Amino acid sequence: MNSYFLSFAWGICILVSLIGWGGAVNRILFPQYRVDWGQRAAWGIAWSVIFGGLLNVTWTISQATILIYICLGALYGIIDAWANKTSIADDLNRLINAFKQNIFLAIGTFIAFLLTAVQYSGSVYWYDFNHHDDYHAYFVFPHKMLQIGSLGSDPFSERRLVSALGGQSFLNTFSLSVLDERSLYLIDPGCALVVMIGLIIGYCQQKEISKSSTLLVVFGFLLISREYTNITGILISVCLFLSLFRVFEWDNLKATNIHSNAAIVALLAAAICALKTTFIPACIILFTCSYFFYILGSQTKHKAIYEFCLASILMAVFILPWSISMYQSSGTLLYPILGKGFHGSVYGGSVKIPSSEIFRYPAIRLKLYAILAILYVPTILGIRFFIVGLRKKKIVREATLSIGLSAVTGAAIVVFSTGGSDVNRYSYPLLVVLSLIFILVFMENIEQKMSNFDLKKIHLIGAVFLLSLLLAIASDGYTKSGQYNKYLENVARGLKNVPLVTLDEREKYSKILDSVPEGEIVLTRLDKPFLMNFKKHTIWIADYPGGASLPPGMPSFKGEEALADYLVSKSIRYVAYSYANEANFPRKSLEGRLTISPQIPFWLRNQALNTFEFQESLQKLGETRKRIYDDGENFVIDLSSNKNKQ
């Protein structure tokens, strides 16, 4: 088993590699300018996501490929740092001198470093994962990539279809290429946390915001409570949104660099879209709004229009490899914008989309959101064009305005498409981006008006802030959510090398597949399908049964024989099922989801309804079909051998 310290060091290596690849992008597109390390890291993430799409569609992902990729990026990052060692040394000297002049800045920086270290260290090994989302999908995807070279085909996986194109899963192969499943929070939030701090510091340096104000913003970010439902990206997306905002705000983004401008914008936007489906509306709105304002205010509109068209084309090209893979697996290039593919709702059966049924109170809440969003848009436009006015500030790319419009409207679109469920979860990354950017812009404007403010007063304000911070940490203010307790618990368990999965469990899953003839298709409903070897068989996972399936759709509530006939017609002869614990979805403990109540989202009830019916059908088929494997917890049945017909 891998040690905690190896995982810790590997995360730093990944971070250096991302900075290195971002530096290569920087050198190719903008050789005359050197962006800060936080921006280079974000560009490295974006490039990795797009490059991962190429590897995925060509089935060339492997442990060796990933290790070579990371080592090449880290090597370039080290060489680039050595080439600029004088500049780096000068920056460090200036920082040390600033600490000598302001002791509160030094203390505050040390506390910020400790908070960062705790959060990163607590993300190196993680133990509290989602037994449904992670075990049935988000653990599976990077494992499949490393084993068979691609996400491959998985037409019965709803999460494969609706959740994301695959960018986050590719990033997670960076961890699994060396480590085990405990490290799947290493990229996000582990490395992403450090990148975010780099982006904040870089923006403040770019806008000449003081170190004290920069520290305040960093503290604000570090003390934000974050809840992780599953391992799909949260901070990675925040990094890319902030990076794209900074690109639009970049003074060196001149009209003379049209091709480079279009390329970097398209790279970041495409990476955001490939990370997770819920980020696509906000990303498209941000992209469109920024170029709309740029064209509107540009003196050379033909150049602005050309850049917009080129960026749009490049963005589509960058996403295309991921979309092709999605089409081959699930029947659509991009769910739901370009079609629903093999989603269960298209077959007219019992599977419905989340917004199919909305109770009265959630409907009222959604109407309230709609009213607020409608009022928000003209309000923010009015502030920009009437209160601020065109005389004080000419129309350029309007990055702040565009992010303000996109974050709120994008979140509203996602909330409505999910029927108002999990509002906080889906809107959180967008609202974090919006809040951070507004704070940064506020700091920038405040400092311009306080340039003559007495330095001693600034030091006094810093001292008061630090004292307040220490009192807050000493109290229960930040431990109520259990955020830092969770990090410290992860560190303690990681140092003891507590395993997430036992060796017996891994051996058991190996025996499950050994019972099936090599090369056969196996449909699985297991509690930990990520432990399977995907090389010897075509393994399809029913993560939410009926949520996705091959045409004409998997039959529901028509009996187990109808289900067996359907599966055999699709050349699926073998089915594996964890019957002892009902694949971590036991009816006894989760039957409450069937209750018709405003407190239970419709999609949860619909998923539970179809899952219980499917599992009951498998249990019955286990009585009438030959069990070629049964270890008391899991069985594999051969659908072609019906005991009742013998």
pLDDT over 90 at 46, yes or no? yes
Task: Kindly state the average pLDDT of the residues 97-107.
Answer: 85
Across the chain, mean pLDDT equals: 84
Helices and strands, number each (H, E), in the chain: 25, 5
pLDDT band at 1 (very low <50, low <70, confident <90, very high): very low
Instruction: Determine the Cα–Cα distance for residues 72 and 74; give it in Å rounded to an integer.
Output: 5
What sections of 125-191 are H helices per DSSP?
Answer: 133, 140-148, 158-162, 167-176
Q: What is the pLDDT of residue 382?
A: 61
Structure tokens at 202: 């870089």
The pLDDT score that the predictor gives to residue 165 is 92
Instruction: Please give the torsion angle defined by the CA atoms of residues 542, 543, 549 and 553, in that order, rounded to the nearest 10 degrees.
Output: 90
> What is the model's pLDDT at position 409?
81
Stretch among 231-235, 305-309, 565-569 having the lowest mean pLDDT: 231-235
pLDDT at residue number 474:
45
Please, what is the angle between helix 85-101 and helix 103-124, to 10°?
120
Instruction: Of 1-15, 146-160, 208-222, 437-451, give the lowest mean pLDDT range.
Output: 437-451
pLDDT tens for each residue of 421-444: 666 677 778 888 888 887 777 777
pLDDT bracket for residue 498 (50, 70, 90) = confident
Higher pLDDT, 91 or 272: 272
476 pLDDT band (50/70/90 cuts)? very low
Evaluate if residue 455 carries a pLDDT over 70: no
Main-chain dihedrals φ then ψ at residue 47, nearest 5 degrees: -60, -40
Q: What local confidence, expressed as pLDDT, does residue 241 receive?
A: 93
368 pLDDT above the threshold of 80:
no
| pLDDT on residue 202 | 92
Mean pLDDT of the 103-125 span: 89
CB 368 within 8 A of CB 358: no
pTM, whole model, 2 decimals?
A: 0.89
- pLDDT of the residue at 372: 64
CA 196 from centre of chain: 14
Helix (H, G, I), strand (E, B) or coil at 229: coil
Backbone dihedral region of 624: left (phi > 0), alpha (psi from -120 to 50 degrees) or beta? alpha
* pLDDT for the residue numbered 18: 97
The pLDDT of residue 564 is above 60 = yes
pLDDT, mean of residues 23-39: 92
The more confidently predicted of residues 459 and 444 is: 444
Domain ranges of the chain: 4-85+123-337+389-454, 503-645
Environment class of 484 (CB within 10 Å of its CB; exposed 0-12, middle 13-18, buried 19+): middle
